[in-house]
Amino acid sequence: MKTHLYLKILIIILLTSCRPEMDEIIKPSIIPKPLAQKIGNGSFIFNNDVAIVSEPKLLDVSNYFTLYLKENYNFELSNNNSTKKITFKIDDSINNDEGYELNVSKNNITVKSKHAKGAFYAVQSLLQLLPLPSSSNTFKIACVNIKDEPQYKYRGMHLDVGRHFFSIDFIKKYIDLMARLKMNTFHWHLTEDQGWRIEIKKYPKLQEIAAFRNETLIGHYNDQPHQFDGKPYGGFYTQEQIKEVVAYAKTRQVTIIPEIEMPGHSQAAIAAYPELGCSGEQVEVATKWGVFDEVYCPKESTFKFLEDVIDEVVALFPGKYIHIGGDEAPKTNWKNCEYCQKLIKKEGLKDEHGLQSYFIARMEKYINTKGKQIIGWDEILEGGLAPNATVMSWRGTSGAVQAAKEGHDVILTPGSHCYFDHYQSENENEPLAIGGFLPLEKVYHFNPIPEGLTDKEATYVLGAQGNVWTEYMQTEKQVEYMAYPRVVALSEVLWSSPEHKNYSDFINRLEQYQKRLDLLEVNYANHIYSVKGKFTHLSDRLTFELNTTSSSYPIYYSTDRSFPSKLYSTPITIDASMHIKAVVLDSKKTALGAIFQQEINLHKGVGASIAIDKEPHPAYNTGGKGALINGVSGNNKRYGDREWLGFLGEDIEITIEFDKPTNINSFATRFFNGNGQWIYAPKEINLQLKLEDGRAISTLKKIENTKSLLVDFKLNISQFSEDKNLKATELKITIPSYGNIPEGKQGAGHKAWTFIDEIIIN
Ligand code: ACM
Ligand code: ZN
């Protein structure tokens, strides 16, 4: 008898251990985090005894779920006599169309919503409760009760298909991926200087000419001289394809906003129809990036063209909005155009900005007659906002503040938090990107409500959007790399309640979510096992602290350039210059992320005290003023990291006070000079040393060569003092801003940014 019992136990153990997926109930780790979620006891088992019932209004969504189970889990639901039921019900007491209640108990899964949208989002939560698909056709999910609704009604992702063109299949995948995160708006940027991508039947040259360019810039725009690949490039979407995408998006509860740029970013259209420009001269579809002088001339025939285009566009897109661009439209050609100047006089406009406002307001009026509303980038504020326009604020948040105060709806897409074309890691081996630095954590901590709005004004903030400009994204894989996982973080910013925001909890859920992205073959950037380092100034010593985003695995490090082999537990004491290497290793000592490297230069400024008379711009102040004298230099490409400080159009004065009189031989720093991003090195620097005997000596140095992306500044004290042994108590550095950006450059007329790096004192 006894052996029998042992045998039985053994069989049970074998059976259960052979089918781990049968036993495993995964812990609910839904992204974006639901508003309220109560985990109960037990589980709902998907076996051959489950049926689905739905009210007619929710049938499309329940069918989507049924099909999903079939395609991904090879799972077939049974008939109505089953013990267990999945029920889709309308519940009018839920007051948000996108809200839902999802209840999972042992024998029932109930989805309640007022609208199909809410039911669709309940299903998205449900899909994340399911284990990853396996060969077993039986699996279970935890009992849970979820009551959920979004914080913001506009949850968008943008994609620029003008700079690079992507297939219809990819556009659908992009929409599917965002819908899984409960994002509801796809902003399709369809026209650019470098390519017109939407078929307009009335104007065939848009397809023949504007959709193709002769060649494309190689490398970064800042790399001089410019080089080109010599290969024709282009393509466009037919109206049939667009209808197919619109219909697909509808099944994912995604609305598409088409963008037809005007009056700027229109060189491709002018290449096809030169009479749309001021001069009427032939131009080519642009082959490099940037802002071009070729803009539409506001002639009657131009408006006729744009109205015809809009007629075909509104017939394709059922959504409420048409985006008309409005950004980065240089006024050069309008200033030199007889017609434009006459029109300014005739309409009593103040200047060319007034003309831009006239242009937008006129197009708005036309678009309103079609029952649609316009959205424009924040430049549409210049010269007066069109009466019913919604503003998309990209140059920081001041446009959003102004528009909301004027009673207009706004959507936040500031470069500092929403430009997913910026770098996301400080690793030197990141693929080429436009510039900037926007790590996942910064996206996660974004607050779409800008400072300076009252509660009432804040109600004009509809939400926010991630922008994916594709100058440096030639492939669909690269678009995925730049967008993910930043879209995942943004989804939580827009859907989840801010009180529940917790980055380390988010990262734990992201680790799970990334496994789902693997199954969907998404080429996301996996930086959660990357090491990051930070100088910390403890009272008795300087230390360097290492950390990773995920704490699932340990960090190993070295300080002598060897492969990291010491287990990291406490901050590393910095008592000399050194080179730190660090990496996350799993139990087999395999590296999970890239190797982090940091050169530390223990110069004489490290540990001194520093004051700056202006606050760095909040978007570029991650490391604070101490970052200028912490022994760590900024990244060579990414001015948005924690080492560079950025100032917008201000003269700055930096004072470094030494804790004892210090002999100084040289001084060095560097400036970022990414003119394409509106960043300019200063033209001069003034240095003043306060000496131990109370005297002060100073010098003004011009900065000569400002052609390169990084402008080095170095000064030996011997260049302005003969005293080799002078001892200073204080160093004051005065840096006047470059001033306004010159005509003909990107951002002309705006204040230039100043970005300064480590101040190295020897
Ligand atoms: C933009 O990034 N030019 C809106
Ligand atoms: Zn003109």
Q: What is the pLDDT of residues 600-618, one digit of tens each?
A: 889 999 889 999 999 999 8
Q: How far is the CA of 328 from the centre of ligand 2 (A)?
A: 16
Residue 20 pLDDT grade (very low, low, confident, very high; cuts 50, 70, 90): very low
CA 612 centroid distance within chain: 30
- Whether the CB of 394 sits within 6 Å of ligand 1: yes
Where is pLDDT greater, at 619 or 539?
619
How far does residue 343's CA lie from ligand 2's centre (Å)?
9
pLDDT given for residue 142 in this prediction:
96
* Residue to mutate, 257, 393, 469, ligand 1, most ligand atoms under 8 Å from C-beta: 469
pLDDT band at 708 (very low <50, low <70, confident <90, very high): confident
Q: Which ligand is nearest to the CA of 295?
A: 2
Among 167-176, 244-253, 313-322, 694-703, the minimum mean pLDDT is found in 694-703
101-140: string of b/e by CB count within 10 Å (b at 16+)? bbbbbeeebbbbbbbbbbbbbbbbbbbbbbbebeeeeebb
Q: What's the whole-number average pLDDT of the chain?
A: 93
Query: Is 188 a residue whose pLDDT tops 80?
Result: yes
Closest CA relative to residue 685, chosen from 732, 650, 633, 730: 732
Q: How far is CA 278 from CA 103, 273, 281, in A?
A: 62, 11, 8
295, 328, 392, best to mutate for ligand 1 pocket (most atoms within 8 Å of CB): 328
- Per residue in 504-516, pLDDT (tens digit) is 999 999 999 999 9
Query: Measured between alpha carbons, how far is 579 from 100 in angstroms, rounded to an integer?
Result: 53
**In a mutational test of the pocket of ligand 1, which residue from 377, 421, 472 has the highest number of ligand atoms less than 8 Å from its CB?**
377
Contact partners, residue 174, CB within 8 Å, separation at least 6: 157, 159, 166, 186, 479, 483
Q: Are strands 435-437 and 422-423 parallel, antiparallel or unpaired?
A: parallel
In this structure, which ligand is nearest to the CA of 396? 1
CA–CA gap between residue 202 and residue 192 (Å, rounded): 19
Task: Report pLDDT digits (tens) over 39-60.
Answer: 999 999 999 899 999 999 999 9
> Any idea which ligand is nearest the CA of 333?
2
Using a pLDDT cut of 70, give the percent of the chain over it: 97
Give the pLDDT score at 106.
Answer: 96
Mean pLDDT calculated for residue range 561-566: 94
Per-residue pLDDT at 474: 98
The total number of residues shown for the chain amounts to 762
Ligand number, closest to the Cα atom of 335:
2
SS3 content of the chain, % helix, strand, coil (to 5): 30, 30, 45
Buried b (16+ CB within 10 A) or exposed e, 208-219: ebbbbbeebbee
Q: Which ligand is nearest to the CA of 391?
A: 1
Number of helices (H), then strands (E), belonging to the chain: the values are: 19, 39
50 alpha carbon – ligand 2 mean position (Å): 68
Q: 220-233 in b/e burial notation, b at 16+ Cβ within 10 A?
A: bbbeeeeeeeeeeb
Ligand positioned closest to the Cα atom of 332 = 2
What pTM was estimated for this model as a whole?
Answer: 0.82
Protein residue closest via CA to atom 2 of ligand 1: 394
Instruction: List C-alpha distances in Å: 239 to 166, 199, 393.
Output: 15, 6, 30
| 3-class SS of residue 406 | coil
**HEC secondary structure over 573-589:** ECCCCEEEEEEEECCCC
Ligand 1: residue of 193, 394, 746 to mutate (most ligand atoms within 8 A of CB) is 394
- Rounded distance from Cα 412 to ligand 1 centre (Å): 12
Closest residue CA from atom 3 of ligand 1: 327
How do residues 452-474 score in pLDDT, each as one tens digit?
999 999 999 999 999 999 999 99
Atom of ligand 1 nearest to the CA of 467: 2
Q: What pLDDT was estimated at residue 542?
A: 82
Residue 25 banded pLDDT, cuts 50, 70, 90: confident
Query: How remote is the CA of residue 207 from the centroid of ligand 2, in Å?
Result: 25
User: pLDDT tens digits, residue range 113-131?
Assistant: 999 999 999 999 999 999 9
Query: What's the 288 CA to ligand 2 centre distance in angstroms?
Result: 24
Q: Which ligand is nearest to the CA of 393?
A: 1
What does the alpha-carbon distance between residue 541 and residue 546 come to, in Å, rounded to a whole number?
Answer: 16
For 69-117, the pLDDT digits (tens) are 999 999 999 887 899 999 999 999 999 999 999 999 999 999 999 999 9
Does 215 score more than 70 pLDDT? yes
Distance 59 CA to ligand 2 centre (A): 54
Question: In the prediction, which pLDDT does 635 show?
Answer: 85
Cβ–Cβ under 8 Å, residues 191 and 264:
no
Q: Quickly state the pLDDT bin for 12 (edges 50, 70, 90).
A: very low
757 backbone dihedrals φ, ψ, rounded to 5°: -110, -170
Atom of ligand 1 nearest to the CA of 328: 3
Q: Closest ligand 1 atom, CA of 265?
A: 3
Listed range (143-157, 329-343, 364-378, 427-441) with the worst mean pLDDT: 427-441
Backbone angles phi, psi at 484, to 5 degrees: -110, 135
Q: How many angstroms separate the first and last alpha carbons of the chain?
A: 86
Determine whether the shortest distance from the Cβ of 290 to ligand 1 is under 6 A. Answer: no
Closest ligand, as measured to the CA of 343: 2
Give the number of the atom of ligand 1 that is nearest the alpha carbon of residue 419: 2
The atom of ligand 1 lying closest to the CA of 377 is: 4
> Which stretches does DSSP call E strand in 695-743?
696-702, 710-716, 727-735
Q: Is the CB of 328 under 6 A from ligand 1?
A: yes
Q: Strand, helix or coil at 482?
A: helix
Within 8 A by CB and 6+ apart from 199, the residues are 206, 207, 236, 237, 238, 239, 242
For ligand 1, what atom is nearest to the CA of residue 413?
A: 4
SS3 of 127, please?
A: helix
| pLDDT in the model for residue 225 | 82
- Between CA 525 and CA 424 the distance in angstroms is 8
In the reported structure, the alpha carbon of residue 327 is separated from the centroid of ligand 1 by a whole-number distance in angstroms of 6
Cα 325 to ligand 2 centroid, rounded to whole Å:
19
Do the beta carbons of residue 109 and residue 140 sit within 8 Å?
Answer: no
pLDDT band at 11 (very low <50, low <70, confident <90, very high): very low
The alpha helices in 222-351, defined as continuous H runs, are 239-251, 267-272, 300-316, 332-335, 338-346
Find out whether the beta carbon of 426 lies less than 6 Å from any atom of ligand 1: no
pLDDT at 2: 45
Check whether 739 has a pLDDT greater than 70: yes
**Confidence at residue 10, expressed as pLDDT on a 0 to 100 scale:** 47
CA of 356 to the centre of ligand 2 (A): 11
CA 312 to ligand 2 centroid distance, Å: 25
Among candidates 34, 50, 252, 249, which has minimal Cα distance to 129?
34
Q: Which amino acid does the sequence have at 406?
A: E
Find the 278 Cα to ligand 2 centroid distance in Å. Answer: 4
**Closest atom of ligand 1 relative to the 325 alpha carbon:** 4
Give the Å distance between the CA of 618 and the centre of ligand 1: 20
Report DSSP letters for 321-349, one per residue: EEEEE--S---HHHHT-HHHHHHHHHTT-
- Residue 629, classed as helix, strand or coil, is helix
- Mean pLDDT value across residues 353-372: 97
Q: How confident is the model at residue 4 (pLDDT cuts 50, 70, 90)?
A: low
pLDDT (tens digit per residue) in 396-410: 999 999 999 999 999
Predicted confidence at residue 6, as pLDDT, reads 54
Q: Are strands 461-466 and 410-412 parallel, antiparallel or unpaired?
A: parallel
> In angstroms, rounded to a whole number, what is the distance separating the alpha carbons of residues 683 and 681?
7
Q: Measure 369 CA to ligand 1 centroid, in angstroms.
A: 27
What is the pLDDT, as a whole number, of residue 15? 42
Can you read off the two tokens belonging to residue 457?
Answer: 């004004």
Q: Which ranges of 424-501 would DSSP assign to H, the alpha helix?
A: 440-444, 455-458, 476-483, 486-495
Q: How far is the CA of 326 from the centre of ligand 1 (A)?
A: 9
Contact 327 CB / ligand 1 (< 6 Å): yes
Contact yes or no for 702/682 (Cβ under 8 A): no
C-beta of residue 257 within 8 angstroms of C-beta of residue 188 = yes
